[in-house]
Structures are given as C-alpha cells and as structure tokens.
Structure 1
Amino acid sequence: MPNTILHPNSPAMVTETPLFSANDEWSPLKAVIVGRAEHSAFPSEPPHMIAATMPGEHFAEFRPSNPFPADIVAKAQWELDNFASLLEKHGVRVYRPKEVDWVKAGGYTGAMPRDGLMTVGRTLIEARFAWRCRRNEIKLAYSDILDQLGSEDGAGRIHRAPEIVGHDTIYDDVGHDTIYDDVGNGNGNVNGNGVDVQNGHGITANCWAVNNSRPAFDAADFLRFGRTIVGQLSNVTNPMGVQCLKSIVGPEGYAVEVLRTTDTSAMHIDATILPLRRGVLVYNPGRVTEEELRRHAVFAGPDWELHAYPFVPQCRGSLSPPMYMCSPWLVLNALSLDERRIFVEEKDTQFAQWLRSKFGMEPILCPFQHVNSLGGSFHCATVDLVRETAIRCPARADAA
C-alpha cells in the first residue's frame, strides 16, 4: 500500500512517493536529512590519520574530548536550522537527528550525515567508518530516523553496518613508526607509512592512512550517476570497503567505479567532482584529470560535459571562522535542489556567478561558513532520501 507522508506546512496526504529513493545527485529533491551541530568535538584519531587528512595549522586541536569553540558550534546550529527551514519552504520533507553530546560520547559531530549514510535506489546504506570516533555516530544520532523510515509499509531496504567487536585492526601497522611535530609533519612520507605515494596513474593502493584488514568506507567517497556509482579510494575508504559497497548494490543492478585521483590527502569525493545536472560535471583539476574521468564509460561519450573549475578558491579571510578540517575547495560541496537550482555558501560569490553565467544555474545563497568550520558544506550536511525522477536515470554503464 502507498506510504503516508506528512509534508511540511501541509495536511497529511497519501502519496506513492517512497520514503527513500535516489539514483543521482541532481533530480528534484523531495526528502532529506539535515544534520545538527550541538556539542561537536574535534575528531580524535591516531596522529598519522590526522596528519594525512587535516590542515597542519590546526593539528594540535585534534585530541580527545576537545570541543569546537562554543560560538562556532552555536552559529553552525543556527545555519543548519535556517537551511532546514529553507528546504521546507521549497517543499522538501526534512528529517533531523537527535541531539547528542559528542564530547561525552567520545565522538565527532551530528552535522555531517552524508559521511555515514547514502541512498542508492531503494536502499539506504550505513557507512563502514574507519574513524573510531565515528563508530557509534549513526546509532546515537540517526537510529530514530532509520527506524521511522524502515517501519512504513513499502519501505525500501536499510543496510546497517555490523558492530565492530574487540580490537579494530584498521590502523594496524600503519603510521606507527612516524613521529609528528605540533603541525602534523612526520619523518616519513605524506601519509607516514614509508611507502611511495604516487605512480604514473595517480595514487598507489597502499599509501593510505588505513590498511585493508576490514571493509572501510565513508559514504561521502561516492556519488550517484544513475546505475553507476563513482567513488575513490582514500584515507577512509579501502578496497575492501569498495567491495563491500559493490556487494550491497550490485545485486540491485548498480556498478561501482573507482576514480584514480591525485590527492594524497583524499577523504570524500564530494569536493573533487560536482555533477550540476544530467550531463554537466565540474571537477577540481588539482585532484582528478579529464582523461581519468573519460576513462569511465559513464563519462566517456558526448553526453557529459566535463568542466574544470577555472579558479583557485581562496581562503575567506580573518573575519571568517577557521577552516579546521577542509580546504577552500569545499566550494564544490554544493547541494542541488534540482537541475536548475543549487545551494551555495553566501560568501562564495565567484563560484555562484560562474554557475549563473556558464551554465544558467540559479544559485541559492545561504550562510553556512560556521558549518564549514566543522568539516563540510551543504552536501556533507545532508542525506538526500528522495529525488523525484530517479527512475528516469540511465542504465548502468560498464566499467572501462
């Protein structure tokens, strides 16, 4: 029988719209999870992981039970609430997680649900986090939402991550022989594990801050392009993690393809490539090449325009809050409302103007710089549960 969904600012109605169904990043957004920022704490992971992924100037902040500055957290929460309200005004159903004291829980934040959850078709998938401080993030903050989504008649499949019992082997024999100074510089290579970090095609499989002893992947290392999921190996996603994701989505007819990036600090692909709409993709030329993108069947033909972002994003200056965890390339971490409208941080005016003039897009400018301080932007802070025209997405592309 059809699901009953209460849309914001409207009476209850019966609709055939599923509670979660999305096959791309650009179709009209109808339901979404928006995170929350209260009690966010700097993630505490082994020094080699922090050195591999975080800006060196803030290295010393990444220690146990160290909360983000209270004023930044409060303003980030206001920005998330404001963003959720704006989405509701555009007719989007918004879900919000529980408030959790992440300092007491030994965790990180509830502001970045994209890292931990992804919708692929009618399946909602929980990530296999590498970071130990995120191990209980979905259970603590999002279980109520998942229970609600899974309890309705006709609900899709929710694939929860198995609990890790006992010693987590993900960091075994990685980075332990490296000594770091107070800005994260080590006496080994960039990832602190004494191996060559690049070859002629990008990054070697063994250069990362995690090993391949168990499946690990962050959902934000993958984007949906119809029946093809495009992702990357990174400091939080290993080959076993990719195979794990393939085992979940493969039986439903989805392919998972892995880009060869040139970013040794890689952690999440959604500030490297940004699909604006069907057939138009923007990419960071410092992290991936057009040649590499064209190597994949989904981008190989004339149906996709691939555009290198022509500007180098700049830091916003001393009047803006610190970017503790991200580079200015976070500008590409935008969220499409549909194929015409896209959410952009209000100070990223150069990017917004380029989207208008180059592609005829309509950027929706929204304050989000304090959320940026916590480690992400609009794409990171959301999980798109329903995109309306997902069923029109093209058939799966075979790997090149």
Structure 2
Amino acid sequence: MLQLNINNETSPLKAVVLGTAESCGPTPIPEEAYDPKSLEHILAGTYPTEADMIEEMEAFAKVFEKYGVKVYRPSVLHDCNQIFSRDIAFVIGDKLVHANILPDREKEFQAIQHVISEIKPENIIYPPEEVHIEGGDVMPWNDYIFVGTYTGSDYPDYITARTNKEAIEFLKKQFPNKTVKSFELRKSNTNAKENALHLDCCFQPIGKDKAILHKNGFLVEEEYQWLVNYFGTENIFEITAEEMYQMFSNVFSISPEVVVSERNFTRLNNWLRGQGFTVEEIPYAEIAKQEGLLRCSTLPLIRE
C-alpha cells in the first residue's frame, strides 16, 4: 500500500503522478475552452500539438528519473486531455482528496485507479457536491494549508472560479490540526493577464522559506501583504503580469534545493541559482498555452 505523506510543497519527493499528453484529442473549439489563455491560442491557431506536449512531458519524466522519484502515469483515455493531474486530486498529510469541480473530468480520476487502489480506502476523501475544490488552489505548507478561492456572488459566472467558500469550511473540518488560510483570487473569463486560474498561478513557496508571488493575482491587498510578511520581502521573487501569464509561479520542487523550471524563465532561473537552488530547466512552453505548467501536471503522493 502507498503510505501517502505530503505536508508541504518542497520536501524531498518520493512518488508522484505525472499527467500524460497522449491521445489528448483534437484542438478544442472556442466554446470548449475552460480558461482565457487556451481560448486565445485556439483563436490564434497556435494551440499546442500533441507531439510537442508529449515531448515536453517526457523531459519532465526524465528529471524525476534522475532524482529517483517513483512516477505513476494515468491510463490513457482516447481523445482526452489528461495533462493536469493536479486538478483531479491532491494529498494533504496521509489523505488523498478527490477534486470535484468539473463533472466531465471525472473520467480522468478513474484513469488513475491503479494508484487509488494502492491507497487505504479510509484515506481517500470524497467532498460533497456543494464543495468545489481543485488541487491548483490548495497548498499544504507545514502548519498551514494555503487555499485560493473566489467568494464573490458572481462565482457561477466564472468558469475560472474553481474553489468556493464551502471548500474552505470543508478543509477546516477535515484537517483540524492545520490552519486553513484562504486568499481571494482575481478572476477573468476573457483576459488571461488578469486571471489567476488557481493559487499556484500567482504564488508558490520554494525552498524552506522563499516564495514566488504576483501581487495583482490577489483581490485583497491585505491577504497578499500577509504572505509578504510571512515569507519576508528579501525571500520573495515578485513576478510581473507578463511573467504570471507565462506561468512563472508554476514551477515544481523536487526537494528544498531542486526546482524544475521552464527553460525560458531566464529572470526567475537566474534568481533561483543566485539563491543557491539547482534549477532543472526543461521545455514546457507549449503546455503553458493551456494556462497550466509544471505544478499543474503533477500530483505528489509522497514526500519525505
């Protein structure tokens, strides 16, 4: 059986589910887009090809191999985008939480049954229907669980609003020994540079005490300020709107010392190296066109 263990974003990684780009289907029509960035590329004719995305994901898999991480892949579903395994489930402590935001993605969860079957049934949590929650919005950080949300009354109008206030209450009940800290995110269905699809699109902790942050991703300045105070200005890499759009905050930590990043993120990668990190650079710019990047493609199961 798998002994799940995830208490933060950066402890040495032992086992992970990495999505797959195989048989991800034809380019969607505009009406099928879940986010403004995908829509932009569908309309411009620059939507990524399956071959390019498979190549990018293989580069990611090779990095995991290099560091001795056990990698699970989903069963391949015909004509189904299964790249973003972070959307379908996430682990906190020794519990796996099934995300239930978009009903038509349930089959993606079924495609990791070979992993689920290795987890004790009592360690799998299925939230009730009114709880909307997605892994990109949930970040365990030691005593805290940081959660991105949108609680405006116009929540139903946003396809980009993924985690609701019922989810915050639900997490508080499920994990009473953690402090659940929520952050209101800026949402837009039409402007990708003004849309924080998930918390990891505008924030991510790295190392032991550092963070990547984008101020405009947060609707409430005090909540952004709380993070600045918590990590300390000198430990924060503040990204621009353009860098948020390129998904600079969506890197992935294999350990407190090793960060996997997109090879074009020059400013960030140089800063990381200056801070003493080992940066594993891979091509991931095609996958980024779907408003998701490295963290979105992973579902970590076990960290030390």
TM-score by length of 1: 0.63
**Residue 100, structure 1, aligned to residue 77, structure 2:** yes
Match of 1:254 among 178, 184, 187: 178
* Paired amino acid for 2:112: Y
Deviation at 1:90, TM superposition (A): 0.7
Whether the aligned pair in 1 keeps the contact of 2:212 and 2:239 (CA below 8 Å) is: no
Task: Please list, as runs of the form range in 1=range in 2, the aligned pairs for 1:332-371 lying within 5 A after superposition.
Answer: 332-357=249-274, 359-371=275-287
Task: Please list, as runs of the form range in 1=range in 2, the aligned pairs for 1:9-158 lying within 5 A after superposition.
Answer: 19-41=3-25, 50=34, 53-55=35-37, 57-58=40-41, 72-103=49-80, 109-129=81-101, 131-139=102-110, 141-150=111-120, 157-158=123-124
Name the residue aligned to 2:169.
Answer: 243
Deviation at 1:327, TM superposition (A): 2.4
Over aligned residue pairs, what C-alpha RMSD do you find? 3.0
* Paired amino acid for 1:368: Y
Whether the aligned pair in 1 keeps the contact of 2:91 and 2:301 (CA below 8 Å) is: yes
Name the residue aligned to 2:157.
Answer: none
Higher-helix-fraction structure: 2
Give, in whole Å, the separation in 1 of the partners of 2:173 and 2:79. 32
Give, in whole Å, the separation in 2 of the partners of 1:258 and 1:30. 28
For residues 106-128 of structure 1, give each alpha carbon's deviation from its aligned partner in whole angstroms, at most 9, with x where no partner exists.
xxx21101111111001111112
> Which blocks of at least 5 consecutive residues in structure 1 are unaligned?
4-17, 62-67, 104-108, 165-213, 315-325, 389-400
Deviation at 1:301, TM superposition (A): 5.3
Q: Secondary structure at the match of 1:331?
A: coil
* Paired amino acid for 1:96: R
**Residue 279, structure 1, aligned to residue 203, structure 2:** no
Give, in whole Å, the separation in 1 of the partners of 2:29 and 2:198. 18
* Paired amino acid for 1:292: E
Structure with higher Rg: it is: 1
Q: Secondary structure at the match of 2:295?
A: coil
**Residue 331, structure 1, aligned to residue 248, structure 2:** yes
For residues 105-150 of structure 1, give each alpha carbon's deviation from its aligned partner in whole angstroms, at most 9, with x where no partner exists.
xxxx211011111110011111121x233233212x1122111233
Give, in whole Å, the separation in 1 of the partners of 2:8 and 2:123. 18
Match of 1:383 among 278, 283, 299: 299
Q: Secondary structure at the match of 1:356?
A: helix
* Paired amino acid for 2:115: I
For residues 286-326 of structure 1, give each alpha carbon's deviation from its aligned partner in whole angstroms, at most 9, with x where no partner exists.
22377424447xx7557785525255546xxxxxxxxxxx9
Of the structure 1 ranges 346-355 and 34-43, higher mean CA displacement relative to structure 2 is found in 34-43
Task: Please list, as runs of the form range in 1=range in 2, the aligned pairs for 1:252-331 lying within 5 A after superposition.
Answer: 253-264=177-188, 265-288=195-218, 291-295=222-226, 300=229, 307-311=236-240, 313=242, 327-328=245-246, 330-331=247-248
> Which blocks of at least 5 consecutive residues in structure 2 are unaligned?
151-160, 189-194
Whether the aligned pair in 2 keeps the contact of 1:32 and 1:385 (CA below 8 Å) is: yes
Deviation at 1:232, TM superposition (A): 1.7
Whether the aligned pair in 2 keeps the contact of 1:215 and 1:244 (CA below 8 Å) is: yes
Change (3 A) 1:312 1:240: closer
Q: Secondary structure at the match of 1:286?
A: helix
Change (3 A) 1:99 1:310: closer
Whether the aligned pair in 2 keeps the contact of 1:285 and 1:308 (CA below 8 Å) is: no
Deviation at 1:239, TM superposition (A): 1.1
**Residue 218, structure 1, aligned to residue 200, structure 2:** no
Give, in whole Å, the separation in 2 of the partners of 1:83 and 1:308. 23
Identical pairs, percent: 23
Whether the aligned pair in 1 keeps the contact of 2:132 and 2:167 (CA below 8 Å) is: yes
